[in-house]
Amino acid sequence: MSTDVQGAQAHTENGWRERAIFRFGAGVATAMMLAASFEWSLAMITPIFVAMLLGPPGVRLPHGAYAKLLIGVGLTFAVGIGLVVILPFALVFVPLQTLLLFLTFYRAERGLNPLIVVMLLIAILMFPALGLMDRNVAIDFALGFLGSLAIALTLCSLFYAWIPSGPAPAKPAPVLPSEAVAYRNAWLSTLLVLPLLLFFYLTDRSGDLLVLVLVAILSQSPGLEAGSKAGMGMILANLLGGAVAMLFYNLLVAVPMWLFFAALMWLTALLFGLGMFSSPKGKILATGFTTLLILIGSTTFSGGGDAGEKLILRIAQMLAATGYLAFGAWVMTALGWIARSSD
């Protein structure tokens, strides 16, 4: 009897995983094809949001959460635009940005939704740079970002309605760090990002803002606490995504057909989804897949001339971000701010 119960449980779990993988592949491929076909403002980020929302654990957010997420991001960008108008100088921004970064990292330590954390970091880091160059550019960015997020949320709602997720396999509740530990980790992450932030302002390297945003996203613990080893893992994940992106791009150049693009994107998403939902290395694969989506979106849509050069540039930017993170973690470990790994 116990064997039958265990078999039924395994069958249920496998069925949940198969549905989640198929939903992930179909949803990401659909988002990519819509973005490539209609190319609204910042369309390339829609598939990334869809991948984040349909990826592990593959469970729909609670009722009303999508609307709250959209409203929360909208308010964040509204505050960002207001700050650009009120404080039009970079030196005035830096202390305020430092405080906002710390508060965001602290809330992330205390369990804030990772997607909201990403939105906040983008708003805090990109808005001042864009707004100081041109306020209209910052406003257009905010509107495009919100529009892409709204489309992603709509697609995810439709795919969860088409392929219901059901209950995910039980997992232990996450153990959040104490307030003191969260406070310390938040300051470590802030200190890691701050020198790069100052460097970007002093050198006016607005074209490399992706590096700054990636460092901020990746610098959250436990990645930072794991030291340079975690940084090397991120480099390997980005290299994986970059290698698959180069193969994807070369295949697309060889067969430049819309249907082939759709089939190739669907197959790629399915394969990554299989690993993300089934492999213990799922987080690394998720990072690599995000890299792949960024590279493909920024090099295959129209207006993205010199795609091969842009592909190499994006890979270089991501390697620079993860390399900076690994070096920063090594320095903090040498100073005794981060405990050395037992490995």
Of 141, 134, 131, 146, the residue nearest 96 (C-alpha): 131
* pLDDT band (50, 70, 90) for residue 308: low
d(CA 234, CA 228): 10
Residues whose CB is less than 8 angstroms from the CB of residue 301 and which lie 6 or more positions away in sequence, other chains included: 35, 36, 39, 43, 44
d(CA 78, CA 27): 29
Q: Highest mean pLDDT: which of 69-78, 112-121, 148-157, 320-329?
A: 148-157
Q: What are the pLDDT digits (tens) for 225-268?
A: 554 555 566 677 878 888 898 899 889 889 988 899 999 999 99
d(CA 210, CA 183): 26
Evaluate whether 192 touches 224 at the Cβ level (below 8 Å). yes
CA triple 30-31-35, angle to 5 deg: 115
In this structure, of 2-11, 96-105, 138-147, 241-250, the range with the lowest mean pLDDT score is 2-11
Distance, CA of 291 to chain centre: 9
Residue 113 reports pLDDT greater than 60: yes
* pLDDT band (50, 70, 90) for residue 1: very low
Q: What is the mean pLDDT of residues 286-291?
A: 87
Q: What are the pLDDT digits (tens) for 211-234?
A: 777 777 766 655 555 545 555 666
